[in-house]
Amino acid sequence: MAADAPRSLLEHRLVIVTGKGGTGKTTVSATLALAASRAGLRVLVAEMGPDEQIPRLLDPRAPEVGYAGCAILPGLQAMRIDPFEALAEYLGLQLGVRAVVDAVVRNNAFRQLMTAAPGWRELITLGKIWHLAQLDSEDPPGRQFDLIVVDAPATGHGVAFLDVPRVVVSAVRAGPLHAHTERVERMLEDPDQTLVLPVALAEELPAREIAELTDRVRNEMGISIDRVIVNAVVGPPFPAAIPDLDAALARLDGDLPLGMLPSPRVLTRCARYLRSRHELNRRFAADIQHTTGLPIVELPRLPDGVESLEQISALAGALLADPVFLE
């Protein structure tokens, strides 16, 4: 591989999937995890939100996986990082004495303080991810996880949570917290290890936001970002021989009875909708490529939404077949 070629998505240790609400970020996280596990990697997919969604997406009968995590499919583990549990684990590792940790974590005043205190949730979650990335496995030997996929929170803060370590390193000038946070920061800023994978829709507002996000991650945060997933792209609506089907339908008598078929007026509306969504998606997919200067990976909009393993498998197939995905 040439020195300046981007690494394969699957060669990173940590892929942080980000995107605004409604872009299908969680679906993409599940899809990426599934695709990677099918490619033979040991994969962990971690959710940060208050609700678990990925296990149920991959298997409707999946149990709650919680903080302990659970294998959902061969080579694919899922977990949800709860900040209070991560904090208890961290304090346990630091202090060694479980009884002290329990007393502190259960202490009312401490919980009150932590409920109000900003930033630590993001920090401890990133710390936990760092820790997971260091875990070794004995059988087979090597890292316990080849790839950790993080479904980042869909907050208005965008990628601000990735900035928390930097803020903390500057606000806390010494001590173990400073040292540990620096390690997390180093992992995030190492392009061989960490990649931010933004998910966007090919529509006006998301296209604009993705350009801002890309800019910020690259220039202000110094975290690697090298491709964009454009999700739910509506494919060509009509056969190539009839690019103007909607216009042809519009020339018919709108009320002409067509038996069980909808009237030409309704057919025109349906055709026009498909065409306008397709054209809008095409325009803004090109726009995203242009404004971010990054290659894009397109995922198709599936007819019935994405709600089952079958559909995720179809998307994972599309991902694995995309040269930009693996390049």
Partner 1 sequence: MKPDARLDAMLADREVIVCVGCGGSGKTTVAAALALEAARRGRQALVLTIDPARRLADAMGVESLGNRPQTIPRATLDALGVTPSGSLSAMMLDMKRTFDDLVERFAESEEIRDRVLGNSIYQHVSNALAGSVEYSAMEKVFEMHESGAFDLIVVDTPPAQHALDFLEAPQRLLEFLDSRLVKMLIHPAFKAGRFGFRLFHRATQRVLQVLERITGIGFLEDLSEFLIAFDAMSVGFRDRALRVRSLLLGPRSTFVLVSGPGRISARNASDFLDRLETYGVSLAGVLVNRVRLWPSQGAPPADEPPRSVDLERLRDALRASEGADYPAELAADAAAKAATRYAGWVRADARSAQPLRERIEAQGRFWGCIPEFERDVHDLSGLGCVADRIAGRDEEP
Which 35-54 positions form the footprint of partner 1 (CB under 8 A)?
49-51, 53
C-alpha 240/C-alpha 214 separation (Å) is 35
Binding of partner 1 by 237 (CB under 8 A): yes
Stretch that binds partner 1, among 65-73, 99-107, 131-139, 223-231 (CB under 8 A): 99-107
Report the residue number, 183 or 272, with the smaller CB distance to partner 1.
272
Strand duo 147-151 + 43-47: pairing: parallel
Q: Which of 109, 140, 141, 323 binds partner 1 (CB under 8 A)?
A: 109
Indicate whether 103 belongs to the interface with partner 1 (CB under 8 A): yes
Of the pair 172, 314, the CB lying nearest partner 1 is at: 172
Q: Which of residues 125-154 bind partner 1 (CB under 8 A)?
A: 153-154
User: Does residue 303 touch partner 1 according to CB under 8 A?
Assistant: yes
| Residues 204 to 223 in contact with partner 1, rule: CB under 8 A | 204-205, 208
Binding segment (CB under 8 A) for partner 1, from list 130-138, 142-150, 221-229, 237-245: 237-245
Task: Specify whether the backbone of 19 is left (phi greater than 0), alpha (psi in -120 to 50) or beta.
Answer: left
Distance (Å, rounded) from C-alpha 12 to C-alpha 133? Answer: 11
Task: Select from 121, 145, 146, 288 the one that contacts partner 1 (CB under 8 A).
Answer: 121
Q: Which of 216, 131, 123 is nearest to 167 (CA)?
A: 123
**Shortest approach of partner 1 to residue 118 CB, angstroms?**
4
Of residues 7 and 265, the one with the C-beta less far from partner 1: 265
Chain-centroid distance of CA 53 in Å reads 12
Over the window 242 to 281, marking each residue x when it contacts partner 1 by CB under 8 A and - when it does not, the resulting string is x--x--xx-xxx--x-xxxxxxxxxx-xxxxxx-xx--x-
160 binds partner 1 (CB under 8 A): yes
Closest CA to 234 of 172, 175, 195, 283: 283
Smallest gap from residue 42 Cβ to partner 1 (A): 28
Residues 55-84 that bind partner 1 (CB under 8 A): none
Angle of the 204-216 helix axis to the 264-292 helix axis, nearest 10: 10
Contact stretch for partner 1 (CB under 8 A) within 32-40, 219-227, 241-249, 285-293: 241-249
- Residues belonging to the chain: 327
Among 3, 136, 241, 323, binds partner 1 (CB under 8 A): 241
Pick the closer one to partner 1 by CB: 157 or 290: 157
Measured from the CB atom, the residue of 32 and 267 that comes closer to partner 1 is 267
Least Å distance between CB 174 and partner 1?
A: 4
User: What is the number of other CB atoms lying within 10 angstroms of the CB of residue 139?
Assistant: 5
> Least Å distance between CB 171 and partner 1?
6
Phi, psi of 147, deg, nearest 5: -140, 130
Query: Does the footprint of partner 1 cover residue 167 (CB under 8 A)?
Result: yes
Using the rule CB under 8 A, which residue among 134, 305, 310, 321 binds partner 1? Answer: 305
